[in-house]
Structure formats: structure tokens, C-alpha cells
Structure 1
Amino acid sequence: MSTLDTVAHAGQTPDLDQPWADLGLKEDEYARIREILGRRPTIAELAMYSVMWSEHCSYKSSKVHLRRFGDLPQTTPLGETLAGIGENAGVIDVGQGWAVTFKVESHNHPSYVEPYQGAATGVGGIVRDIMAMGARPVAVMDPLRFGAIDHPDTARVLPGVVKGIGGYGNSLGLPNVGGEIVFDECYQGNPLVNALCVGTLRHEDLHLAKASGAGNKVVLFGAKTGGDGIGGVSVLASETFDEGGPTKRPAVQVGDPFAEKVLIECCLELYRAGVVEGIQDLGGAGLSCATSELASAGDGGMIVELDRVPLRDSTLLPAEILMSESQERMMAVVAPDQVDAFMAITDRWDVEATVLGEVTGTGRLVITWHGETIVDVPPRSVAHDGPVYDRPMARPQWLDAVQADTSASLPRPGTDELGQVVLDLLASPNLCDKSWVTDQYDRYVLGNTRQAMPADAGLVRIDERTGLGVAVSTDCNGRFGRLDPYAGAQLALSESYRNVATTGALPLAVTDCLNFGSPEDPEVMWQFERAVAGLFDACLELGIPVTGGNVSFYNQTGDVAIHPTPVVGVLGVIEDVAKGVGAGFAHDGQVVLVLGRTRDELDGGEWAHALHGHLGGVPPQVDLAAEKALADFFVAAVRAGVLTSSHDVSDGGLAITLAESALRHGVGASLDLTPVCERDGVDLTTALLSESVARAVVTVADEQSLATVVNLAAEHGVPVARIGTTGGSTLKVKGALELEVDAMRLAHTATMRSYFAS
């Protein structure tokens, strides 16, 4: 507009045409904004509502389903949840006066448009969520999904994403301790780049995002605001890609990890000095989000002088400043008598800080530009009371046929073929060695990482004096989600839960990143509702809360959606990380045991997918009682110090668990699965390839430890079978296979490098 669009001007020009559709708003949403304000919105107000009412920020299609998570008991097995859903990140008590905050979010579409910056700023954003709780970030993880490994666009996207994650996280000095890398054609035009961060704090250091206390000052600090990321993830993540890619291409944010590292240390000193009343990071929707959320969570009023915002680009218009998602920025609420102390600390860290305004008791968010009012809104209407859609749902018509097409139609390998099958699986994209990726991440910086990928779970010490630590894992099999989204979500939870448990940590809480197609598709909404219901029911049975997370919709190209991919992160606590147990046969002469029961369950698994290109049937049976029993066993066994290794059975079945255990330290084993086959009523092929849940392989050093393990297993109701002994340079399974460890390693390590090393 040629003249400033003030609130007064809006009142005088009610019929002025406005670009509400171009900003992603629906006609009825625009009408609702006019109803709330009693007039047409100014262009600045329209910008705020457009980004805050976007799918990414408002959860308008998922709220009706996510509300059920609030009905879960907000307690962990150790005590009360200190902060949960609705805060920047969940915070849980882990004992000894310590608390841990963790959360996973998505940066999917930006990472497709600009892989390096999309992934880098995904890391930066989730780290600031953790900072905003008063915590020091201590570790990150990245669950990633890409299209076919041999597709040209995968060669464009994957290296950029990996470099972005490594470049940002390594520069911050944060260890990357885990995640996943999955290839599937369904993610071809919609790679999933999810980012998780873990932070630690003392109970008394907890901070919340609220602006309370009339007269308290509102301070913006960190990087200057630029034109990068205008609309950013808030708009880009709220639209389906067409066949040629995204039709809206707002600038992807540009990250500066060194600025964020300084910001972390500055924030921690501000917290220690006690000069912060409330704090909010600036991520999706930028200043629109920070001002409206702080105001609505506090006393409900705030006035901000937008022309005081430090800019990198002096040509930015007020609406652009409000929509910019420039990185490395925070907003704090500071008592007037603490402003000088606040500024002294930011000056010492060379972090720019500006008082933009103050908290009021008016119940209105007012934003001015050179003395003219350009925004005057009820803040809750922007931040929390946006549209809520109870969208139509319909069970997919194709699902019955897919579930009827089981893996029973595939030729099962004979025992003379199993050796080659294992080699082929070890070389397959989803099971091959991922060190080409993980070697680009610093996994041990800060010196507190006890375990990192390819371990079942990341294990990080949080108290150097006592050894108190946390284990964290993420997981999801999207193929299981396609076959049965309810069971698929529960299976994602059960595997993450099991991964944490195998270290000896007690699982405490869940965060989730729910990646789905378009919510405007009734079949996608049915999948979403079923997944949320499955996750809720599973958490209720396991007795753990969902403390927060993210929904990512519109992950589809044209009318083809990704598989339902509810990535589930689980965090657990261990009293001393030095006692944590890792995967891999480390010494000769140790006894190998299999825990849990095996069923004939190959549908949706890696054998059917990787070797036959098949997806049909029903996923493995969920058994949460067995998962909890197994977890309780591991906590007791690790405390007793009787396990020398542990590794869960999951993708690829027992065959891959045994192969990975041998590969970890180059120690083979001589095994006989007859006890498993006879007890569980399965043949040798099924025993090796089934992906039944609640199973793990462990080793013990001597007969005394073996007796303790057997007794603990009986006490917890966990089936146990002795299957052999470690040693030598060959993995032998009687009647099935005999593979040199070196040959397995060659197959396992060649795949990723052959596609991406150049």
C-alpha cells in the first residue's frame, strides 16, 4: 500500500480489497477475523492472523484429536510433569533436583525447497524451544526420511540435509546422539526432516512463556530481523506440493549457529541472574507468534513499538517484519528495575537487545509503527482461538485389499538361502550402515555422551557428580502405519520405548512428530485420528504422558500422500550412565540369550519391503504388556550389573539383530535357534526374519550372571532362551547360515557410500 494501513484507516475503508487468499486464509476465516475485530483487519493484522492461523502454527485440523492427550495422567513413573502440552517443550522430573526438557518438531517442506538451510534452521528452532524453558541444550537427534535411494532428487536433498544438520549442530557444540534414516518412494517429493532436542535444568530454573505484570518491559534480543523466512515454515508447511514442487516459495530461513551458540550462553546467564519474568523463542511466525503467545499466556495485554525492531533490511514493511522468521531471536519479559542488569548481560555477550514495549492490563495486543497503531487485537484470537476444524474422515477404500495381500504370497527362503538373504538385507537401504551420515555429526562433544548411533538409544550424562543420565530414542515404521495407523503408532512407541529400555533406562515420557498427508483428504484424517487414538491408548497402558510435539500435515505431492509416519520419541532416566548397556558382542565366550516370543509376522517388514518390494497384510501384533515387562526386566538387570550387551529386535528381525551385534566389535557367535523355534512354534526362516515386538538379544559373561538373568526374566514374565556363545570371526546359526563378519561388513558398509560418497 502507498500509505500506512493503520487501525483508523481500516475503520474508514471497510470495503478495501485485501489479499487474504494469497496469504493462505480461507474466505470464512477472513470473515471470522472481521467479526472478531468489528472491522476489516489492517494489512499488519492480516499478516499476523495468516501465519498464526496457518496449519503449522494453529493445529486447526488436529486440535480436536490432540485434545485427548490432555486426558492422560500428567505424571511419569518418577513423579509429576513439570510442564506439558502447550508449552514450548515438555519438562519432566528425573530426580536429584534435575529436570529434563525434550521435544521433536518438523522442518519438512523447507528442507525440500532448500535442504541445507531448511535442515539447519530446523535444528536451530528446536534448540531455541529448549532454551525457552530455562534449560541448557545437551543433545540433538534427527529422524529423517527420503525417497528412493537411487532417485536423482534424493541425491540433491539428502546430502544437503545432512550437511545442514551437521553444520548447525556441530557449530553449536551439541552432540547428535541418534535418529533414523529411512528410504521409501512415498517420501520422494516430501522428505521428512524431524529434529529433537534434549535440555537439562534444575527445577528452580524452569521458565514459561508468559507476559505478566503490567509495566514489565518486552525485550527483543538476538539477531537482527531480515527478509529471510518471511512466511517461512508457517506458510510453506501448510500447503500440499503439486507435481512440480511447492507453488508457494517463501524464503527459507537462514541460520547462524555461532550466533545461536552465543545466544544460548547469554540466555543461561540471564536465567542465573534472575532477570527474566517470561521468555519465548521466535520460530515459526516470528514476532507474530512471540507477541501474541506471550500476551495471551500472561495478563493479556501488551504494547509494542515495531519500528524499534533492529533490521538487517531497512526496506521491510511492517507486515513483513511481523511475518519474518529470521533465526536466532528471543523475546523476554523483564521487570523495569531489572532492565539495566538484563542489558548489561546481553552487552557482555555482544547480543543486541532492544526494549520494544511493555505489558499492559488492557487485554489487547497493540503494535505501533512510528506512533501510528497498526495492530489492535485480542491476543488470544491470534494465538489460541483460531479456526478449529473437525474434518471429515473416511476409512480408505483400498485398505481391505492391501491388508488381504499378505506376505504369505511371497516365496519364503529355504535354509540354504538364508545366508544370502541376510547379506542382502544388511546391504538394503534401510538396514545398511549409515556411518557416511553419522560421521558428519559430532556425537561426543561436551564429553557426556555415553552412547550414540548406531546404539539403540542415545545415552547422555546430565550430572557429572552422580552419573545421572537420560536415554532417548525416536522411531516409526511408516509401512506399518499404512497397513494399520492405529497399530502403527503403537508400534512406533513400543520400539522407541524398547530402545530406551535396552540401555537400562526407565522410560518416562513421550514426544511425537505426527507426519501425514493433507488434512483435507478424509482418508488422511482417518489415518491421523487412528494414529492419535493408538498413541493415546498405548501411553495410557504404559503409564507415560505425552509432553508435547508437533503435527506436520500436507506431506503429499498432488493427491499422493506419504505413509502415515507418527515419529515417536521416548525419554528415560538411568541412575548412572556408567552402568548403561550397549549393543554388540564384545568378547569371546559369552552366553547369548533371546528375550521375548516370536510369531510369524513378516508383513510390512524389511524382508518383504527390501527384497520383494511388497507392502501388504497387517503389521506385527502390538503387545504393550510384554514391552513393559521387558523394560522392567532391563532396568533390574542393568542395576544388577549382569548384562554385557543388549540389542533390541526390530527391523529385519532377529537375523539383523544378530548380524549387527557381531559387526559392532567384530566378534562372531555360534548359535542354535532350536529352543526358540520349538517353544514358539515357528520355523527357522520365521525365527530369523519375523519382526515381532518385545524382543531383544543380550549376553552375559558367566553362569552366575546367567542364573541372575534367568531369575529376573522369570520374575518379570519375560520368556528367555539360551541360543549359543560368542566368539570367532564368523556368525553361525545352526542349519541356517555361516557368514564371515568381514563379508557382512563389506555388504553392510558399501551401500550409502556408493550413492553419496562422491
Structure 2
Amino acid sequence: MTPPVVHETDTVATAVATPDRPQPFAELGMKDEEYQRVRGILGRRPTSAELAIYSVMWSEHCSYKSSKVHLRQFGDKAPKTDALLVGMGENAGVVDVGHGWAVTFKVESHNHPSYVEPYQGAATGVGGIVRDIMSMGARPVAVMDSLRFGPADAADTHRVLPGVVAGVGGYGNSLGLPNIGGETVFDACYAQNPLVNALCVGVMKHEDIKRAVAPGPGNRVILFGAGTGPDGIGGASVLASATFDEESQAKRPSVQVGDPFMEKLLIECCLELFREDLVVGIQDLGAAGVSCATTELAAAGTGGMHVELDTVPLRDATLLPEEILMSESQERMMAVVSPDKVDRFMEICGKWEIPATVIGAVTDTGRLVMTWHGETIVDIPPGTAADEGPVYERPYEPPADLGSLQADTPGRLARPANADDLRNTILWLAGSPNLASKTWVTSQYDRYVLGNTVLAMPENAGVVRIDDESGLGIALSLDGNGRYTRLDPYAGAQLALSEAYRNVASTGARPLAVTNCLNFGSPEDPGVMWQFARAVEGLADACQYLGIPVTGGNVSFYNQTGTTPINPTPVIGVLGVHDDVRRRVNMSFTSEGATIALLGETREEFGGSEWAHVVYNHLGGLPPLVDLAAEAALASVLVNAAREGLLTASHDLSDGGLSQTLVESCLRGGLGAQITLPGDPFVSLFSESVARAVVAIRPGGEARLAALCEQAGVPVTQIGVIGGDSLTFSTQGDAQELFSIPLAELREAHERTLPSYAG
């Protein structure tokens, strides 16, 4: 969709001279009061170009106008830590991981574009988050993705799923970045509104951190990378701030088109520019394009900038100024460079075949001024667009159906009546779309390129080596559960954090920091806004308790079709540190005869569970009880046990409970297990109580592990041994076998599902 144009030769002078000419602010997503506020700021009617800037910069996607009042909690409640080097407000957060190394990571959404055009929507989502990491001065080293689709057997899922997966893989593989983990989830609530959340992580030395600032009057503003075209025009203000219905589908703007090979060159070019200290400030061009880069750089710097907009290199010479400003063409960066270093900057760009153009200069006027063939078309205080957008305290109240939903507990559902029913339920869950093998997805991603991947999917968390000499590395997990959050948003956000925290600790890494992508329906719906407010509060409180700060993230609103929102889906990424990745622990049962132990307490908890979802398509009750103290205690045991070499395997318990954890560890390692269930077989197998893990103990380490658990207050129960080619169950106090499932049968059930749906 090309934004409506007032007059292609609008200048500041003509804007003053023609005050009554109608302007299409509503079509650009602006409310009447927002438009009037712009007129008040400028003291006149805005030009077409100025209107374009304010419309995209004040959009929900760019300004966080409905979420700011709640997101402040992440800063207000942030735990004090020396590890945080750069916090919220920059392109990505940065943390100290030791030995002079810093890590930057962030997750963002590209949901609506991925429904419109699945391949390019997902591909450019990866490209955009990679550039965020580049703009901090880091080398990107890995990506992850969290994907959610409608029912696996739905016709629209057959359209969207293959394109999204191909887009994630095609872009990331072409960049030469390993994809080390993530999620693929199916639920009817995501039909026609898939979630595509992409994470990137990068590494640098402390002294290499860059900022999005434009200081120093006289410094040059250089646009470099791909040319500017019509792709994605208006995307931030229109597409990401609208719900999907027939009318909005007819108005969709074009989705950005990515070129990963250009981005690969751009990465290497930026890193060489950084090494030679040629950049004073830098910003990637993503949502809102040139509008965002110029206003944010100027507002964070000396305060002024002059840009000759007609010097911007174009792929389409017919683009109007406002279209150039709103274009979201990919693979572009903007740098601030001192005059004496411009020639060398251009020389390096030429070496990497990256087009680069000086389009302006930093000033101290406090104004962002843009000209078009000599005429002034923009003259605004940049901070008013970048930092002073509208802030809404939207009304909120619990959804009308929440009480009845929570009262409809899974207790009324019939449970397996005998051993055969239990056996069939294990197979049914293992082959269900959410719990089945995701090899069809992950086989399309390169997991080991660059040679530093230590663990990748389907492991608990992705692990990447940073320093060969010391073995220093990082672990990352990306998790969420929309069903839990629908039942209780406060607890649901904490449960998403708990799972990611537990996954990272299960590899032996110490959890350090958090990023998030908050996917919700329309903020204009009081029920959705209540879900959002409660989820943010829950996440902020849990991070404060666990001592791990939120370093940044993304809010994605308007995820709904018509008036029906998705389940509220906060996706939480946790970063952990390995002092030595050679002591990491994987999930595979590979040690014949090793003792299997269950750490943590199991309660009868089935609200929002996979069992209720898969067997009965039921959602009701309350989610598992959050126990942050137990999570912290379990993490301490897992980290210390890994450091001491006590474990040969470790796998957290989450969706599907003990049953699914054992299935995955057995199939991953190729060995069976003989398990004695410690309580009621149904509860033992399928409860989703949190703060639990299954571990395989290295022979001779049993006593030391028991001592660590006692010291931390973590219950430990020996439940079996590794060995054989079947997963066999009996009950406590009964020597007779309850039932057994050959690994071959488990594998067939686990691996056949996704290929059959994906075609």
C-alpha cells in the first residue's frame, strides 16, 4: 500500500500557505488528536513528509504508546547487577560474560508480514533482528526462532508453515549463522495470525560497543547498504498496528523483500568499519526506515541533522519523499562519521561492494531538516518524533469469560483407566503436533556453521562457544505458553520465564539476563490490555526475584482476526553463561546403567496442560503453581552438578511432564530406561508441575548429588536406570512391570507427525 499523498511538492512554505488542504492522517494510522498534536508541535500544518515521519514514529510498533506505562516496570524493578552494560532503550541489551567479552541479544516479532507473505515475512524478520545486533558493534553468532501456527491440519497452516520455515532457514543459512533452538507450536488461536519471533545473539569486546547517537556538528551522515525501494512502505504504522479482517487484508502494504547475501556483505563491512574506529554512531534501518534512523540518531546526539533526501539511492526513481521516508527496504544502515574518516569509510564499503552515500550532516540546531531538490520539506524537533509520541493509559479489566474459564478445571476429564490407556496416552502425546519431533523444521536450518555450536535443538537450550582458550560460552532458550497465560497472565509470564531459566540451567549454564517478545491482541480491548498489564507485572516481579534483568525486547499488539485475539503469548528468552562449555550437559540417555533421578516436587497440576489440550482439546482451570524459590534452588543444583561433572544427562520437565521428558531423552540418546513411578501413575507421568528436571547421574556421583540437593532444599527421587531398547514402567512397591514401549514404536509415533502435515 502506497501511503496517500497530499501533494508531491509540499514544502514548509506551502504547508503554511494551504492550511485547509485535507491530509490523510487517518489512513496512516493516526488519530485526530494525534494529528492535532503534531500541528501544535510545529505551529502549522505538517508537510506530507513530516506527516509520514510522525505517522510511523508514533505508530504502536515504533512508539510503544499503549505499553510504555507498563514496560517501565522492567526498569523500576530491575535487579542491580554489574553484568548489565547496556540496558533497555538501545537497539539491543548488552551484558558482560567475563574475560573481557560482552554479549548482546534480542528477540523481535514479524507476525503480520509472515501471514501476508510467509517466506519474505519470516526472512526479513531474521534480517531485521540481525541488524539490531550489528548496530551494537557485535558480530552476530547465532539465531533462534519461536513460531506459532493454527491447527497443524488446517489448510492455511499448510500455506504458512512451509513458507515461514523456508524463510527463516533461507535467510539465516545464507548469512552463515547457526540456528540453535526455538519453538514450533500449533493452536487454533493462531489461525490466520501466526507468530514469528526471531532472536539473534552477538559477541564483542567491551570496548567495541556502539550506540545509536549522532553527536558532533559537522559529522557526516552516511546511508549504506541496499537501495531504497517501495517494499514495506507504511508497514510499521499500518500493518503492525491493525487487526486482520477482510477490510484490513485489502489494505495491506507490501512486505519487505530481503537479500541475505547483501546482508552478509553488510555484516563484514560493518565489522571492518568498527575495527578501524570509523563510526561515531550507527543505526540499522528497519521499521520506519529513514524516518526512524534520522530522528533517533539526531535526538540521541547533538540534537540536529540536515539531510538532502534526494541523494538517497533509489531502486525506484518514481518514489516520492514521503515514500522514501516510510520505506522499510532491508539491508540498510546509517552511520555518523567524522569528515576526516569519510574517505576511508567509503573505501571499505567499496571493498565489500556496499553502496554508500553521504546524505547529510549533524548540526547543533536542535532541528531535523530535510530538503528535496533544494526545497525544505521537513523541519521538526527530532525528539518530538523519536521520544515524545503519545502515551496511552488504556482502560483494562479481566476478560468477561476468565472466571468461567478458570472454574472449568481438568478434574472433570476422564483419566486413563488402565495400563493400556496410559501407554496409549504416552504415544498420543509423543506424536501430537506440539510435542512431536520438529526435525522437519530444524533440518532446514544450519545448526553448526561457524563451528562454535556446542548444543542445538532439540536440546534444552542452544549453547555457543565464545572463547576457544577458556571454553567460555553462552546458553540460550526461548520459551512461552499461551494457554498458561490465557488462564492467568501474571503466572503465565512467570512460567514462560521459569521454563527458559530452567532450560538454560539444565545445560549447566548460569542464567544471567532476559529478553522478551510480548505478543497480544488489540490494546483497545480492555480484556487484552488487562492480560498485557498482568503479564508485564508478572515478568518484572519474577526477574526481580531471580536477579536477572530484562535487557530489551519487543511488543507486538493487534494479533487477532476480527475481534478474536490470540492467546496472550509472552515469549521469553534467557541468556546463561558457561564458564567452560566442555562441562555442558545434554539431554541424551547414553550411559548404560546410569541412575535416573527426578529433581523437584510433583503435584497434581493439569490446567492448560498438553494432556488436556491433546486428548480433550480442553483449556481451563489454573496453570501450574509458580515457585521461583524452587526454580532458583533447582538451577543452583544443576549448575553446580554440571561443574563437578556429576551428570551424564539433564532434561527439564515442562510440556507433557515426565512422560515427554523421558521419551525425548531416550530417543535422543538411543537407549531405553526402566522407570519406577513414585506416585499415582497418571499424575507422575503427565503433571506439568514446574521446577523439576530429570538427570542421569554419573556412576559414583549419587551421594554428592544428594548432598547438593539437600543443601539447596531440592527433593530428589531415584526413579530408574538407563538401558535396553524400550521405555518400561512399573509402580513403586510393585515389582511387576506396568507396561513397556519399544523405542522403535516411540520413534515412529514421535517422528511421523510433522512431515505428514507439512507435506
Q: TM-score, normalised by structure 1?
A: 0.98
The SS at the match of 2:287 is coil
Say whether residues 1:10 and 2:7 are aligned partners: no
SS at match of 2:632: helix
2:177 counterpart (168, 174, 177): 174
1:471 maps to a residue whose letter is A
| Cα displacement string for residues 460-500 of structure 1 (whole angstroms, at most 9, x for unaligned residues) | 01112211100000111100010000000000000000000
1:716 to 698, 712, 715: 712
CA contact (8 A) 1:6 1:373 kept: yes
Pair 1:696-2:701 in alignment: no
Letter in 2 for 1:222: G
Asked if the contact 1:240–1:246 (Cα under 8 Å) also holds between the matched residues in 2, the reply is no
| 2:726 aligned to which of 723, 727, 730 | 730
The yes-or-no answer on 1:519 pairing with 2:516 is: no
Match of 2:129 in 1: 126
The equivalent residue for 2:26 is: 21
Say whether the 8 Å CA contact 2:139–2:202 is kept in structure 1: yes
2:79–2:547: 8 Å Cα contact kept in structure 1? no
Identity over aligned residues, as a percent?
A: 66
- Secondary structure of the 2:474 match is strand
Whether the 8 Å contact between 2:119 and 2:164 is mirrored in structure 1 is: yes
Aligned partner letter, 2:130: V
What residue in structure 1 maps to residue 566 of structure 2?
Answer: 562
Whole-angstrom distance in 2 between the partners of 1:314 and 1:621:
59
CA distance in 2, matches of 1:73, 1:432: 37
**Match for 1:741 among 740, 743, 747?**
743
Distance of 1:260 and 1:547 partners within structure 2: 25
Aligned to 1:623: 627
- What aligned pairs does 1:347-366 form with structure 2 within 5 A after superposition? 347-366=350-369
Q: Report 1:298-377 matches (<5 A).
A: 298-377=301-380
For 2:652 and 2:399, the matched residues in 1 are separated by 33
Asked whether the 8 Å contact 2:59–2:236 carries over to 1, the reply is no
Aligned partners of 1:123 and 1:195 also within 8 Å: yes
2:225–2:331 CA contact under 8 A, matched in 1: yes
- Give 3-state SS (helix, strand or coil) of 1:445's partner: coil
Aligned to 1:684: 681
Name the SS of the counterpart of 2:689 in structure 1: coil
- Unaligned runs of 5+ residues in structure 1 are 678-682
Q: Deviations over 1:627-647 (max 9, x none)?
A: 011111111111101110000
Tell me the secondary structure at the aligned position of residue 47 of structure 1: helix
Within the alignment, does 1:219 sit opposite 2:216 as a pair? Answer: no
Residue pair 2:396, 2:529 contacting (<8 A) in 1 also: yes
Shift of 1:578: 1.4
Which residue of structure 1 lines up, in the alignment, with residue 3 of structure 2? Answer: none
Question: What SS is found at the alignment partner of 2:701?
Answer: helix
> Aligned pair 1:447/2:443, yes or no?
no
Q: Determine the C-alpha separation between the residues in 2 that align with 1:174 and 1:234.
A: 30
After TM superposition, give the deviation of residue 74 of structure 1 in Å. 5.6
Equivalent residues of 1:669, 1:727 under 8 A apart:
yes
Residue 257 of structure 1 corresponds to 260
CA contact 2:79–2:543 (8 Å) conserved in 1: no
Moved more, 733-742 or 457-466: 733-742
**CA apart distance, 1:584:** 1.6
The reply to whether residue 646 of structure 1 matches residue 650 of structure 2 is yes
CA distance in structure 2 between the partners assigned to 1:550 and 1:507 by the alignment: 21
Deviation of the 1:3 alpha carbon = 5.1
CA deviation string 1:111-138 (max 9, x = no partner):
0000000000000000000000000000
Name which of 540, 545, 551 aligns with 2:549. Answer: 545
* Residue identity in the other structure for 1:294: L
- Can you list the C-alpha shifts for 1:186-231, whole angstroms capped at 9, x where unaligned? 0001100000000000000000000001111100000010111111
Q: CA RMSD in A?
A: 1.0
Deviation at 1:651, TM superposition (A): 0.3
Residue by residue over 1:526-583, the C-alpha shift from the partner in whole angstroms, topping out at 9 and shown as x without a partner, is: 0000000000110010011000000000000111000010000000000111110000
Match of 2:51 in 1: 46
**Quick check: 2:502–2:631 contact (8 Å CA) kept in 1?**
yes
1:243–1:557 CA contact under 8 A, matched in 2: no
| 1:238 to 2:235 alignment | no
CA distance in 1, matches of 2:577, 2:431: 34
Contact 2:504 2:574 in 1 (8 A): yes
Specify which of 671, 679, 696 is matched with residue 667 of structure 1: 671
The SS at the match of 1:153 is helix
* Aligned-partner Cα distance in 1 for 2:739–2:31: 61
Spell out, residue by residue over 1:732-754, the C-alpha distance to the aligned partner (whole angstroms, 9 max, x if none).
Answer: 11044310000000000010011
- The residue type equivalent to 1:258 in the other structure is F
Distance 1:487 1:689, change over 3 A: same
**Between 13-22 and 730-739, the greater mean CA deviation after superposition:** 730-739
Task: For 1:417-566, list aligned pairs within 5 A.
Answer: 417-566=421-570
Equivalent-residue separation in structure 2 for 1:3 and 1:420 (angstroms): 68
Q: Which residue of 2 aligns with 1:93?
A: 96
Q: CA deviation at 1:522?
A: 0.4
Q: How many angstroms apart in 1 are the aligned matches of 2:237 and 2:571?
A: 20
Q: Helix, strand or coil for the counterpart of 1:250?
A: coil
Q: Secondary structure at 1:279's aligned position in 2?
A: strand
Corresponding pairs, count = 747
Residue 2 (structure 1) shift: 5.4
Distance in 1 (alpha carbons) for counterparts of 2:213 and 2:603 = 51
Q: Which consecutive segments of 4 or more residues in structure 1 shift more than 3 A?
A: 73-76
CA contact (8 A) 1:116 1:163 kept: yes
1:706 is matched with which residue: 702, 709, 712?
702
Q: Is the 8 A contact 1:74 1:81 kept in 2?
A: no
Show the counterpart of 1:680.
Answer: none
How far did residue 246 of structure 1 move?
A: 2.5
Shift in Å, 1:235: 2.2
- CA shift in 2, pair 1:669/1:36, >3 Å: same
| 1:580-619 equivalence runs, <5 A | 580-619=584-623
Of 409, 413, 417, the match for 1:410: 413
**Number of the residue aligned with 1:753:** 755
Q: Does the Cα contact within 8 Å between 2:56 and 2:236 map onto a contact in 1?
A: no
AA of the residue aligned to 2:720: G
- For 1:348 and 1:716, the matched residues in 2 are separated by 57
Q: Which residue identity is paired with 1:87?
A: E
Q: Is the 8 A contact 2:461 2:504 kept in 1?
A: yes
Shift of 1:707: 1.3
1:156 to 2:152 alignment: no
Quick check: 1:231–1:323 contact (8 Å CA) kept in 2? Answer: yes
Distance in 1 (alpha carbons) for counterparts of 2:77 and 2:334? 31
Shift of 1:244: 6.9
Conserved 8 A contact 2:86-2:551: yes
- Separation in 2 of the partners of 1:233 and 1:466? 43
Q: Any conservation in 1 of the 2:78–2:550 contact (CA below 8 Å)?
A: no
Shift of 1:665: 1.9
Once the two structures are TM-superposed, the CA of residue 298 in structure 1 deviates from its matched residue by 0.9
Are the counterparts in 2 of residues 107 and 233 from structure 1 also a CA contact under 8 Å? Answer: no
Question: C-alpha offsets along residues 249-277 of structure 1, whole Å, 9 cap, x if unaligned?
Answer: 11100000000000000000000000100
State the Cα distance separating 1:72 from its structure 2 match. 2.9
Give the counterpart of 1:193 among 189, 193, 196: 196
What TM-score, normalized by structure 2, do the two folds share?
Answer: 0.97
Give how far 1:232 is off. 2.0
Residues 167 and 233 of structure 1: CA distance in aligned 2, closer, same or farther (over 3 Å): farther
